[in-house]
């Protein structure tokens, strides 16, 4: 059986080993990639990180806003709400980074709901 025939156009095969230490516990994961584009290790790592950042955003939208449970039928409303959610997450992340805060996003979101001053602080981050 000709295995290369099944992978016509394959130009790059790679693996990334990721070790994470959190609270003294070490996790080790391997990620495997294939691509029709020829690239070196540095470029593959850059593409992998870009993909992980996109997946992280989808995860945050689902966890914090239950986006997959939203049943809006109007496509424009869906897009507008998605942009508003992403804007809110970006403002929260900018605020968190600026304050060098270790507070989880979920707690920051609740604080913004109950404390107008906190909400104002977060919203003012986006103003230049």
pLDDT 10s digits, 70-121: 888 888 998 999 899 999 888 998 999 898 988 888 889 899 989 999 999 8
The number of beta carbons lying within 10 Å of the beta carbon of residue 117 is 8
Q: How far apart are the first and last CA of the chain?
A: 62
Mean pLDDT for all residues in the chain: 87
Residue 100 per-residue DSSP state: T
Q: Where are the domains of the chain?
A: 9-71, 73-128
Among 6, 55, 49, 3, which Cα is nearest to 41's? Answer: 49
Predicted model pTM: 0.60
């Amino acid at each position: 059986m000709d295995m290369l025939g099944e992978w016509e156009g394959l130009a790059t095969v790679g693996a990334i080993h990721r070790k994470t230490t959190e609270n003294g516990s070490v996790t080790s994961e391997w990620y495997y990639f294939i691509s029709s584009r020829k690239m070196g290790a540095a470029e593959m790592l850059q593409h992998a990180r870009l993909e992980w950042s996109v997946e992280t955003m989808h995860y945050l939208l689902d966890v914090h806003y239950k986006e997959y449970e939203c049943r809006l039928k109007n496509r424009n409303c869906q897009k507008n709400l998605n942009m508003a959610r992403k804007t809110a997450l970006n403002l929260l992340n900018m605020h968190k980074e600026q304050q060098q805060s270790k507070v989880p996003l979920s707690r920051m979101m609740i604080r913004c709901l109950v404390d107008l001053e906190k909400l104002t602080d977060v919203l003012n981050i986006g103003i230049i």
